[in-house]
Structure formats: structure tokens, C-alpha cells
Structure 1
Amino acid sequence: MSKKIFYGGMIVLPDQVKNGSLVVEDDKIIGILQPGIHLNSEYQEINVEGKILMPGVIDSHVHMWDPSPQNYREDWKCGSQCAASGGITTIVDMPLSVPPVTDEKGFKIKYDVAKKDSCVDFAFWGGLTPGCVDNLEKLNALGCVAYKGFMSFANPDYPQITDGYLVQGMKNASKFDGLIGVHAENAEVADFGSKSMAKQKNIPNRMHDEARPWWVELEAIERATLFAKATGSRLYICHMTIAEGAQYLKEAKAKGIKVNVETCPHYLLFDKNIMDEKGSYAKCNPPLRSRENVDKLWNYVFDGTIDTLGSDHGPYSDEEKVKEGNFFLEYSGFGGFDAMLSGMLTEGVHKRDLPLTTLSAITAGNTAKIMGLAPKKGSLMPGVDADILVVDLNEQWIFDGTKSLSKTKTVNNIYHHQHMKGRVKQTWVRGQLVYDNGKILKEGGYGTYIPKQNKIIK
């Protein structure tokens, strides 16, 4: 039996930050001790004096591109190492692999690749497309945590979920308390706006926010919420960007509608002007918004309306992001989940006084509960997997995209040259040290599949 005690640090628990020691046996946390208490010599003592212990990040929204012909962008080996370097101990991967996770075959192909190559734990989204709405119970039996549909136009391999099929998918998922996740944008209006902008000349890149404006997102949010209310389905709004949407969803929650809200770090850190600075390398859907909107969105982090934080990590090669020669026609999306936690420590904790308990809730605790990974994952309480981050809250450093452990290393990373305060020094997954001050210590294959647990924690 492996026994460890982390002593000298501050422990971020669900309701408090506590000075004490964390006791681990094998892969589980078994206790929290008052400061100064030492156990017998069977315990390996790990000095974390001056550091913060946080629960490992559960990234709710990742695109690993693997398996697929595009895994040159990111694969499970490099991607999981990159995740570990940023404090992510469980990757919740989206279903858009090739083949997609829309049936047992697609599930098994992805499972085999991730099991062989991942050094951190992983869970899977299942698909929600017109062709697979009747497969949801089977995917649930395989342990998928949620089901992702695009209300916007997606791609030929993963078509849009039109309203009728979305309602049917919600009805099917409600039979087993399944979670329906949506990319919420009105498909035709967003597509029309993007194509119209592409035809104009000398349009600033920041006008991507006007091509797919805030009300395009709000309309889809309202429509999906109405469908969820009518069917009794649980709903998850992916990567929400707008304060208007947050206010609407805050009121919907107060009415008892079963909806949860995710945003991404880039919507809380950057505004639309960075698209003028970094071009299509900073392009994503839904778009980055105004600085006024960014500041308003933080209010909904503080008040609990926003439940989770997902990176939407999905890098492209530098060449792919500029291949059309027209910003409004380029691919949308980028990588950077190794900067997520440090970015939130910098902007949230240090600049805006975000409590560490709230940060841990949106990066771990809430995600585990909503996606059915609790009580196995999500906190540093006794009985939970020993997914532990050792964080130097005050280290100041500059993110270098060329030194990322991602398969796509580039100065065009949206976080490149960002000044950070707060850094992950060690990442422990199930009681084993995976990342230590720049070095990966566990090979691919250490990570294990975490299926949805039997009972969703309310």
C-alpha cells in the first residue's frame, strides 16, 4: 500500500480553505489532519509548505481530434500531457472524433486509443445527431456523461441537431436522467452573417462579434431551455458567452428548470479586440465579445449562475487557421487548456478576488456533480480519488506557446506571452505524480476511463 501525507499547505475544500495535511492511501484521499500532526514512518511525507492544494481540474469541454485523420492537431498522448501540465486530471472529451461517438463502435474505437495513450483520466461525451438520438440509452450504459448537439451548423461528419431531433433526444435522455448539451447559436442567422461579412472588404476581425451577434446565441439558449422545460430533460449550455444569456438562465434556474451553464476561460479573459491583434488564431464560435460583456459575465461566475468552466481546447495547425485567406471563412477554435487554470488564478483570484472555493467549484466540484463523476471525482474530501494539484499561488511567469506540451506548439496560441500569476507545480492523478515542475512522469496508459457513476449528485 502506498501511503502519503501532504503537509504544510493550504487545502481548498468545497466550503473553505483550510490549513492542514492531506492524507492519501493508494489512490484515495482518506483524511485531513490538523497542522503539525505527523504520522508513522509508513507515510511518505511531501512538503508543500507555502503552496495551495486544489482538486484536479475536470475539463468539461475538450476536442482531442483523436482518433481522426486530423490527430496531427492533438492526440491523446500529447494532449493528456499538456492537460496534466495545466492541472487537468480528467479530460471530458467531446464526441467529434472519426468515427464520432454516436454508437458502440465509435465509443470503443476512441476508448481503445485513449486507454493506450492518456496519462490522465478521461470521460466521454456521447453524440447527439439526427442519426443517433435512439442510441442514447446504449451510450448511457457505456458510461457517457452527456450528449452534445450543435444547434448551429456543424460539419458533414457531425450534422446539426435540428429542433425535432433535439426534442426527441431530450425525451429519450430524460428516461435515464441524461444530460443534453448544446452549442447554442441560431444556425441560419449565424451562417448568413458570417458569409455576408466574408464578402465585404476591409472589415475588422472583431466584427465576427457582429456576424454572429449576442442575440443569435440568446435565441438558441431560450429555444433549448423551452424544449428542456417541455420534455423534463436536463440541459447543459456549452461555452456560453453573453451576459444576456446568463441573466436569462439565472431566471430559468430560479423557476426550477434543470439547466446548467458552462463558459470558457477565453470568454472571461479576452475581448473581441484580440481578433484584430491575433487574427484568425483567436477566432472561435460563439465569438469573443466586448470588454463590457466580459466584465458583466464575471458577475455570473461570482453569483453561481455559471456552473462550470470548459476549455474548448481544440487546436488547429497554423497553416489551417489561415488557409482561406479570409478571416470570416477560417476555422473556428484553438488550443490552450494548459493555460486555463493559471489564467483564472491571474484574472479571477488575484485581480477580482474570486474565492478559491468558487474556482475549485467551477473547475472540478460542480463538473463532477453535473456530469455524474461524483463522488469519485471533484474534491479533496476523504473517499474521493486523490487527484491533487500543488499550486504556487504567487509565482509570476509568462506563458510560452512554443513550449506547450500540446502537439500544436505555436506563438499563435491565444495565450502566448500572457503574464500569469499562479502556476501548477505538480499534478497527482489517483495518488501518483504525473507532472512535476515541467516533467511528465507517467507514460500514456496510466490514465483510466471514468464512466458516469450510477447516481447523479444533485
Structure 2
Amino acid sequence: MSLEQSFNIINGKIWTRGSIFEGGLHILDGQIEKIGKESKLPEAEKLDAKGNLILPGLIDLHVHFREPGDTHKEDFLTGTRAAAAGGVTTVVDEPNNTPVISTPERLKDKLSLIKSKAYVDYSITAALTLENLGLINQFRDLGAVVFAIFDELGGNRTGMNNLGVLYEGLKKIQSSNALAYLNCRESDIVVHKIKKMVEAGKNSPESYDHHFPYVAEYCGAARSIILSHAAGVKTHLREISTQETVDIIRKLSNYTNRITVEVRPDHLFLNTENTRNLGPYSQQWTPIRSKENSDALWQALREGLIDIIASDHATHTPEEKEQGWSNIWQSPPGLPGIETMLPLLLTKVNKGELELQRLVQTTANNPAKTLGVYPKKGTIQKGSDADLVIVDLKREAEIRGDAFFSKNKWTPFEGWKVQGLPVTTIVRGIKTFENGEILGKPGQGRLLRAN
């Protein structure tokens, strides 16, 4: 189906405005033109949803598609192809490429490089550093709406661990009407801990989970919340993982009116107990925590304290990961996640452990609002982009890395049984994935500029 076509999706259970409507959609020029019973829709080519659920396409605010640079791990074509297979229709790609996207020239080069490759719509983050604080408007003019802040990138310090510089940077992001991405991480604590562990010869995969003390996360969360509030900037806190961080966010709730909080699927589903035999294949930048912490994250998600689920898709080759068995510090942290996120969450819905409404809020509605593209995206209503995923809640499967569309074919969820699968993904009216096959074309994805 091309973007210019009009067509109807019939026989669907459509999630719209907080409930299910049984009927169909009329799609015109890539947008939702009408929601109604089939008899009320204009005459057009029909796509039969076969009684399945129709959800807004997922918006993944946290992916690492590795281009430019480490394209042996992933590239924009394979990453966005995997996104479509996972029911994701929009992604936000991180700046820790080679070279790091920290100058307007590098951003321009990256946008030119990936333009012909994307299957889904995308936004690109720029890395904010001490050296480029005065260039924010140039990044904005090129289309950047998100500025990611790290203490170090590419092995180099960014200058953003200085609180004065960080506060200045947040105020500049606010004045440009952009979005700040912050991690909950006090790097001095983490770096000191790693140094001590390496000196003591603690190089096993089991040791890795202890390199990032809980205090480093909840201290970082408190700092990020307070500074963001003072700067008045719209901020997204990435990948929280501990009960203590949840408690800090709850206690500082008066300061979080412009802040969204993210959790990764691996922190929800994996823990130190069920990953004992995975070694480096469960190694993450923010490490896997105990089951008690996972339970606390689920509770915070149900309460609404956590706003967004994002995959942090960051795959590596098996050869790179294998090095971690003998020395975990030689293995790069990161996991594939964009193709397993929705099936894992739908399984929770089927078990009655996650409300469908909460799934849609955290993977579509809230990400769109955070990115500044709602209701253009992230919802099913008249005038919205026809970014849709049709899911079969009854279909069962076993997760297998060798079936992935991602460049590297492994997963920490290998062999997990799931119920609930994306069967069709539609990006702005273009049928892009259906029943295990990619149907769209590279380059159909578009850069999002709004915020």
C-alpha cells in the first residue's frame, strides 16, 4: 500500500480514547480519516484485521542503531526494520556513534547518511557537551529536538558532570523549547567502584552487577530532578532500575511536572536470579537488578509513577559479548530489545498483570507527548498519522534470536514463551510488516522535527 492510497481497515478492535471500539478505520494519504462501523466507511480497498486488536504504533524513545560507526552491530536499515517487526513506528536514536553526534556538521552528515534507510519515522538526538552549549540553535535548525547528556562519550569527558555547566545546559535546552535526556547516574561513584573492582581482580560476569551501586542511581535521579525543575526544562529520565530511585521520584513528585520517567523491558522482566547463566548476554550499562527491584518497578509502572517503557535497543556481536566470560570488562554492555518489547508486554496483558490501557499509555501516548508529536502520533483518532500495529492477542510463540530482523541474532529472552504478537505494522498508511515479512521500503521513514 502506498502513501497516496486510501484504504479501510475492517473487522478490528480499535483502541481509541481509552477503550475498544469494534469497527474499522478509513486511511487517506497516510492519516486516519474516519473511525466507524464498516458500513459507515467510504468505499476503498480493504485490509481485514480479522478481529484482532489495533493499537497505536509504538514510539521507542531510546534506541542505539549505531550509525555512523559501529555498523557491524546494527545500522539504521536493520534497526528500523527490526522496529517495524516489533510494532514500533517511531524511534529516537542516541548520539553515541563514531564519531559522537556533538557538532552540527556531524548531525547533518548522519541525517544525510540514514535518510534513505529508515523504515519507520525517527528523531535524532544530539550530545550536549561543554564545547557545544552555544550551538543548540544550530542543532535545532537541523531538526534535533532532543539533547542527550552524558558524563562521558567515546571515552572522553563531556564536561557535563560539572553541576554549573549542566545547569547552564539545561537552561539553554529550555530556552530552545527542546527536550533533555538525562541518566540517573553519579559517574564518580560508578567509576570509583569499577576501579576498585578491577584492581581486586573482580572480572567475572557475576561481579558486574555490583559495579553500579544503588546510591549512584538514586543520587543521580535526585540531582537530575532538582536541576531540571530549577531550569524549567522538559526532561526525560532514562532507565531507572531500583526501588530507591522509585522512592526518590515519589518523594520529589512536586518537582516532576515537566519530567517523564523511563523503564527498560529488561529491568522489568530480567533479574539477577533468572539471568545467572547468561553471563555477558545479560550485561547492561545500568545493570540487571534483583527481583525485588523488578517488582518495585512493576508497581511504579501500574501506579503511573513510571511514564514510559523504552527498549534501549543496543545490540553487539556475539564475538564481542563472548569476551565477557573471561573478563566482563572486555565485553560491551547492551542488549537487543526492540523486537521483544511488545510481545513480552502483551503476555503480561494476557496474564492480567498489566492493563492494556497502561501498555498503550507507556509505549505510545506518553512517548508522543514527551516528544511533542501528540496527537499527530501516539494515538488513534481522526487526523492522526496512520501509525498502527495490529496484534493477535491469542497467538503464541517462542522467542528466537535467529528469527530477528536485527543485524545480530541473539537475545537474553531466548526460549521465552509469549502470547500476543504484532502481526501487521503500518507506518503513515504504509503496510510495512506483516506476518513475519517486511513489506515496506527503506527510506519511507521520515525525520520528526516537532517538539
Tell me the TM-score range normalised by the shorter chain.
Answer: over 0.9
Deviation at 1:63, TM superposition (A): 0.5
Report 1:283-302 matches (<5 A): 283-302=283-302
Does residue 1:138 correspond to 2:138, yes or no? yes
Give the aligned partner of residue 31 of structure 1: 34
Deviation at 1:164, TM superposition (A): 2.7
1:141-193 CA distances to partner (integer Å, 9 max, x unpaired)?
32322111124x44336736212321111111121232211122111211222
Deviation at 1:231, TM superposition (A): 2.0
| Mapped contact 2:136–2:176 kept (Cα < 8 A) | no
| Mapped contact 1:268–1:294 kept (Cα < 8 A) | yes
From the superposition, tell whether residues 22 and 279 of structure 1 become closer, same or farther in structure 2 (CA, over 3 Å).
same
CA distance in 1 between counterparts of 2:20 and 2:41 reads 22
CA distance in 2 between counterparts of 1:40 and 1:174 reads 45
| Mapped contact 2:57–2:87 kept (Cα < 8 A) | yes
Does residue 1:323 correspond to 2:323, yes or no? yes
Deviation at 1:352, TM superposition (A): 4.3
Q: Which runs of 5+ in 1 are unaligned?
A: 454-458
Report 1:25-64 matches (<5 A): 25-34=28-37, 36-41=38-43, 43-64=44-65
| Mapped contact 2:225–2:256 kept (Cα < 8 A) | no
CA distance in 1 between counterparts of 2:159 and 2:24 reads 49
CA distance in 2 between counterparts of 1:133 and 1:213 reads 30
1:345 is matched by which residue type in structure 2?
L
CA distance in 1 between counterparts of 2:86 and 2:159 reads 32
Equivalent residue in structure 2 for 1:425, among 405, 423, 426 = 423
1:399-427 CA distances to partner (integer Å, 9 max, x unpaired)?
110121111113xx212222111101011
CA distance in 2 between counterparts of 1:119 and 1:437 reads 16
Deviation at 1:127, TM superposition (A): 1.3
Equivalent residue in structure 2 for 1:437, among 412, 431, 435 = 435
1:374-421 CA distances to partner (integer Å, 9 max, x unpaired)?
2321111111110110100121101110121111113xx212222111
CA distance in 1 between counterparts of 2:94 and 2:263 reads 15
CA distance in 2 between counterparts of 1:146 and 1:124 reads 7
Report 1:264-303 matches (<5 A): 264-303=264-303
1:184-235 CA distances to partner (integer Å, 9 max, x unpaired)?
2111211222333344467763443332121110001111112112222222
Identity of aligned residues (%): 27
CA distance in 2 between counterparts of 1:155 and 1:39 reads 53
Give the aligned partner of residue 456 of structure 1: none
When structure 1 is superposed on structure 2, of 44-53 and 351-360 the one drifting more is 351-360
Deviation at 1:135, TM superposition (A): 1.8
Give the aligned partner of residue 187 of structure 2: 187
Does residue 1:310 correspond to 2:315, yes or no? no
Normalising by structure 1, we get a TM-score of 0.92
Cα RMSD of the aligned pairs, angstroms, is 2.0
CA distance in 2 between counterparts of 1:280 and 1:160 reads 30
1:331-385 CA distances to partner (integer Å, 9 max, x unpaired)?
11121211111111113x1234322121111111111111112232111111111
CA distance in 2 between counterparts of 1:275 and 1:213 reads 19
1:280-329 CA distances to partner (integer Å, 9 max, x unpaired)?
11101211111011111111111211111111111111111233631245
| Mapped contact 1:14–1:360 kept (Cα < 8 A) | no
Give the aligned partner of residue 353 of structure 1: 353
Give the aligned partner of residue 12 of structure 1: 15
1:436 is matched by which residue type in structure 2?
E
Deviation at 1:248, TM superposition (A): 2.0
From the superposition, tell whether residues 113 and 130 of structure 1 become closer, same or farther in structure 2 (CA, over 3 Å).
same
How many residues get paired?
446
Q: Which runs of 5+ in 2 are unaligned?
A: none
1:249-278 CA distances to partner (integer Å, 9 max, x unpaired)?
233333454221011111111112344211
CA distance in 2 between counterparts of 1:288 and 1:141 reads 38
| Mapped contact 2:68–2:97 kept (Cα < 8 A) | yes
From the superposition, tell whether residues 204 and 103 of structure 1 become closer, same or farther in structure 2 (CA, over 3 Å).
closer
1:403 is matched by which residue type in structure 2?
A
Deviation at 1:117, TM superposition (A): 0.9
Does residue 1:3 correspond to 2:2, yes or no? no
Does residue 1:161 correspond to 2:160, yes or no? yes
| Mapped contact 1:4–1:45 kept (Cα < 8 A) | yes
CA distance in 1 between counterparts of 2:257 and 2:377 reads 25
Report 1:141-152 matches (<5 A): 141-151=141-151
CA distance in 2 between counterparts of 1:116 and 1:369 reads 27
